[in-house]
Amino acid sequence: MSRCHQPTSTAAFASIQQATAHLERVVLKVLEQYPDGLTVGETCARADYPRYSLQPRFTALKDRRAIRDTGLRRPNVSGRNAIVWRACHHDRREAQA
């Protein structure tokens, strides 16, 4: 029997997919409230989630073109410049206006 097809592996994968989808919805919901965009840290603070939970979701959402880099940078808690992210639906709304 292949290791990839064991029932426990399949169940674990399904559970991870559900959690991932939920966290992506959290990120999008917060970014939708801030048309000017937020950094990862700002998003985590507003959503009340730890950075390690939401950080990977930004890459996935960017790859799906649900969010984009605004080109702006703001200092994060360590003082380094962080990308300001924006939900892409704001761009579509502005283009239609």
87, exposed or middle or buried, with CB in 10 Å at 0-12, 13-18, 19+? Answer: buried
pLDDT digits (tens, 9 = 90+) for 23-33: 999 999 999 99
pLDDT at 8: 73
Tokens for 89, please give them: 């639906």
Output phi, psi for 84, to 5 deg. Answer: -95, 120
**Ramachandran area for residue 65 (φ above 0: left; ψ -120 to 50: alpha; else beta):** left
Band (91; pLDDT cuts 50, 70, 90):
confident
Band (90; pLDDT cuts 50, 70, 90):
confident
Asked whether the whole model's pTM tops 0.85, one would answer: no
